Amino acid sequence: MYPILFCSVACLAIFLERIWVLRRKLIIPKDFIDKVEELVKRDKIEEAIFLCQGHSSSIARIFLAGLRNVGRGMWLVKEAIEDKGRREGVVLERNIGILLTIANLSPLLGLLGTVSGMIKTFNAISVHGIGGSAPLAGGIAEALITTAAGLIVAIPTLVAYRFLTDKAQVLVFEMEENSIGLVDTIEGSGEDAV
């Protein structure tokens, strides 16, 4: 039961941490994006770079990578944005895979408890015979409790994994869309010195 309890605590900690980190306003702040695009439209690339350097969001780091290459060619801008976008996507999905491991491990730990309980039951039978029900009940109870506990941890953990994975993928998609918008804005401003 202790490993199953540890898995439940780890799952809860990871879920809460990821919920806190994966807030849209921290990753893709709309007002920041609007300011950067407005600066780029007015050909104020240096000011846009400065604004990105002072911001801690994922999209700011992606924009910064692209804006630093303005004037070197649009292919470098696009490449820098794609590369930084991939890296930020990995950061957003960090630790989420652990939830899938916990979801797979918890039922196995429950099964291990079941086997342990059945071993105790058969040991009780070999010592006391079939007539004594009290020793049998303890082993059977252990088997059922650990199985249930493993499933009780695994099912919500699997739901949490799916929820966080979907949330991270939606945010990555939105960052891609905003990055494409920035590239279009840069191309439209005539700043690409190819």
Residue 21 counted as domain residue: yes
Domain match, 29 and 123 both: no
pLDDT digits 0-9 by tens, 67-76: 998 888 888 9
Domain match, 26 and 87 both: yes
Domain match, 52 and 32 both: yes
**pLDDT of the residue at 189:** 72
Contact 169, 157 (CB under 8 A): no
**pLDDT of the residue at 141:** 81
Q: Distance (Å, rounded) from C-alpha 178 to C-alpha 159?
A: 29
- Quick check: 126 pLDDT over 80? no
Q: Which residue type, as a one-letter code, is found at position 40? A: V
Cα separation values, 3 from 29, 115, 127, 133, 150, Å:
40, 15, 29, 29, 10
For the chain, the first-to-last Cα distance in angstroms comes to 64
> Which of 70, 69, 49, 52 lies closest to 188 in space, CA to CA?
70
Domain that holds residue 86: 17-94+168-189
Q: What SS3 class is residue 54?
A: coil
Please compute the mean of the pLDDT values over residues 50-71 and round it to a whole number. Answer: 92
- Quick check: 83 pLDDT over 90? yes
Domain count, the chain: 2
- Quick check: 191 pLDDT over 70? no
**Cβ atoms within 10 Å of 56's Cβ, excluding its own:** 8
Residue 127 counted as domain residue: yes
- Quick check: 183 pLDDT over 70? yes
Task: Report the predicted TM-score, pTM, of the whole model to 2 decimal places.
Answer: 0.80
Domain match, 88 and 68 both: yes
Q: What is the mean pLDDT of the chain?
A: 88
**pLDDT of the residue at 21:** 92
Residue 10 counted as domain residue: no
State what percent of residues in the chain have pLDDT above 70.
Answer: 93
Confidence of residue 193 (pLDDT cuts 50, 70, 90): very low
Torsion of Cα atoms, 46 then 47 then 49 then 52, to 10°: 180
Cα separation values, 85 from 58, 64, 123, 177, 180, Å:
8, 11, 59, 11, 11
Cα separation values, 1 from 44, 134, 137, Å:
61, 21, 18
- Quick check: 131 pLDDT over 90? no
Domain match, 69 and 116 both: no
Domain match, 28 and 121 both: no
Domain match, 85 and 174 both: yes
Domain match, 132 and 149 both: yes
H helix runs in the chain, sequence order: 2-21, 24-27, 30-41, 45-53, 58-67, 74-92, 96-128, 133-189
- Quick check: 120 pLDDT over 90? no
Domain match, 124 and 41 both: no
Please compute the mean of the pLDDT values over residues 99-126 and round it to a whole number. Answer: 87
